[in-house]
Structure 1
């Protein structure tokens, strides 16, 4: 991930662009990975974003809330890409702020560890079976912690619609987990 910004353009001033974007790269990469499901695709998506934005770095410097703006742009690029190719399998990555932190605990007993791992696998399988829209909403709101007002601006979806879609996404996730528990 560290070498995602090593390109240099002749005669251009990269430090301004790099200074603006570098603090957000890890966050953008994690989101891209959650959207794409594969490291290479996530790196490509972030790199495509940077290449697209580099010529506009003077405009980017004037953006008031850069992180949500970058996330919106990344999301729209992802959606454009998925419209062009088949849906890919999503695998969540483990990082310091992982979705699974709430599931994990420090029990040393093998049976509890096994049960915890099985539950994590159930959650991941259920998450993968969600629609792209539901996965995106749960990722941005429940995992990444974006507020509804931020998502409203980022995704260009009215607040009421956003609330109902998140509710339906959570209900679908619960249904998938219940079905997995019954099986």
Structure 2
């Protein structure tokens, strides 16, 4: 992959990656670091990039995994002590159990999302993770806006049903 291709295909995804990272880690500086690491990893694998079916999806997956790694590292580094007063949560630093709970919830979301048909999965990812409009999604997936709305509705219904089934098992 050349520098031009990287600049035109990958760098424009930086904003979407930042939104995802910020949503997962909750702090702008950390999210920026994660996005920078994501871009570096994409550049380092430029030889294999052309073999990828969906470089955008791959970039978002790399970003999400780096966020999870960051959160795990953050929990380990805290080293909770009895004297820490860990029952008091400050807004910038959520409690470890909240971080783990959020991590588990995101893992559950990903698991359920992966069971959806490809069109519904793609529409959900574009809408929820990349925050695209119906119009942008219809252009990206080459389908009508009505089909986008229908796909998102069905995806949300299926995800809700599957979530409730999983919740019943627990």
TM-score normalised per structure 1: 0.47
Larger relative helix fraction: 2
